[in-house]
Amino acid sequence: MSNVNVEEPKSLFIAPVSKPAPGSVGKTGTWRHEKPVINEEKCVKCLLCWLYCPEDTILRREDDMVYVDYDYCKGCGICAKVCPVNAIDMVPEG
């Protein structure tokens, strides 16, 4: 029996596999009612907004100044609430 040439199946585990990528449900920025606007003069670069942002849409420049990825920001307002110097304003979407 051992010399019977049985072709091995290509894969025993056929399962759908997803890979991590931004925008798995599209551009979630359209969910927003209010958008966070950062006042760069007030910002003290403490990075608390970056730490608490659930979406990873607060991004850091080389000098640790933060900016917002408006394509995906859902506008929850956590960044504005945790900012110790109130440098983030929530502005209604026009």
Partner 1 sequence: MPVKLRDFPRTHFNMPGNAACPGCPETMGLRYVKMALGDKAVLVIPAGCSSVIQGISPKSGINFPILNIVFAAAASAAAGMKAGFEMLGRDDVQVVVWAGDGGTADIGLQAMSGAAERGDDIIYICVDNEAYMNTGIQRSGATPYGAWTTTTWTGKKEHKKNVPFIMIAHDVPYVATASVGYPQDFIEKLRKAATVKGFKYIHLHAPCPVGWRFDPGLTPEIAQLAVKTGMWPLFEYHNGKLKISSFSRLYRVKEKRVPLKEYLKLQGRFRHLKDSDVKILEEYIDRLWAWLDLLEKAPNPSGTARDLLGK
Q: Are strands 66-68 and 88-92 parallel, antiparallel or unpaired?
A: unpaired
Sole binder of partner 1 in the list 1, 5, 14, 16 (CB under 8 A) = 16
Q: Which one, 5 or 87, has the nearer CB to partner 1?
A: 87
Match 């933060």 to its residue by tokens. Answer: 66
Site for partner 1 (CB under 8 A): which residue of 2, 3, 5, 24? 24
**Phi, psi (degrees; rounded to nearest 5) at 38:** -90, 130
Q: Cβ neighbours of residue 18 under 8 Å, at least 6 residues apart?
A: 24
**Quick check: 29 and 76 in contact, CB under 8 A?**
no
Q: Is 28 in the site for partner 1 (CB under 8 A)?
A: yes
Q: Is 40 in the site for partner 1 (CB under 8 A)?
A: no
| Interface positions with partner 1 (CB under 8 A) | 16-28, 31, 46-47, 50-52, 54-57, 59-60, 64, 69, 71-78, 80-82, 90
